[in-house]
Amino acid sequence: MHAVNWDEARDRTVALYARLGMGLGRPGLPEVLSETQVRQAEEQFGVEFPEDYRQYLLHVSAGGRVRKLQFNGSRWDWDGARPEDHDRLHVPFPDHDSALAESEDAWDRQPKREDHISDAAYETAHNAWQETAYAIEAARATGAVFLNDDGCGFYTLLVVSGPMRGTMWFDGRATCDRLNPLLNDDRQAATFAEWYLDWLAHEESLTTPEQRRTAFQSWHVGVGRPIWFRWFDS
């Protein structure tokens, strides 16, 4: 992808928010972070953010389209994140197929009551299995930021560690076992810049409720679908 002019992206973003009746600050577009603040967050998590996301934080906003990265007085984290979401960002994001197979194997090992001599024995075995299965499932998103809450338990992820670093993924595990890369037009996992600028271009073009309704109808049947909407593409 060609170099991104992030100052221009900020101007476009500010103009979009102004058109929507939202300015800078709460509840509009959060201000940018300083280089010092970004480095503090990176040092806390033990990672260096992908360069395009870093530039977004420095030139466009600490939040906006994505969860706001903020300091709460004791630590940095993304607004709305659970305490356990980002404890291991420095650990590489796993290979999807291997992690899925391990997760499926763990869930298949769920204890059965008839295999235990008492309710107490079954409960002990079940609790141990559940703890292990949940840990294995959580590890599928290790090394990724829960960057956007898409509602209904769905999330958009930004990978910050490992071979897939810098790519955007969709976490659809609320309804299935799927963690999918969000694909660009070349059918490759999109970068943050591709994902964001594609969203911005689509939003800029939707100036009336009628246009938005028509666009969503088209997207639902696979026509002109933006990157962020390619949830279950493969």
- State the burial class of residue 188 (Cβ atoms within 10 Å of its Cβ: 0-12, 13-18, 19+): exposed
Give the angle subtended at the CA of 75 by the CAs of 54 and 181, to the nearest 5°: 45
**215: which DSSP letter?**
H
Dump pLDDT digits (tens) for 29-60.
999 999 999 999 999 999 999 999 999 999 99
Question: What pLDDT, on the 0 to 100 scale, is given for residue 96?
Answer: 84
- Does residue 75 contact residue 87 with C-beta atoms inside 8 Å? no
Local confidence band at 217 (pLDDT 50, 70, 90 cut-offs): very high
Dump pLDDT digits (tens) for 124-146.
989 998 898 888 888 899 999 99
Taking the C-alpha atoms of residue 39 and residue 43, their distance in angstroms, rounded to an integer, is 6
Dump pLDDT digits (tens) for 71-90.
999 999 999 998 889 999 99
Is the model more confident about 109 or about 50?
50
Looking at the predicted structure, is the pLDDT value of residue 162 above 70? yes
- Does residue 66 contact residue 35 with C-beta atoms inside 8 Å? no
Question: What pLDDT, on the 0 to 100 scale, is given for residue 104?
Answer: 83
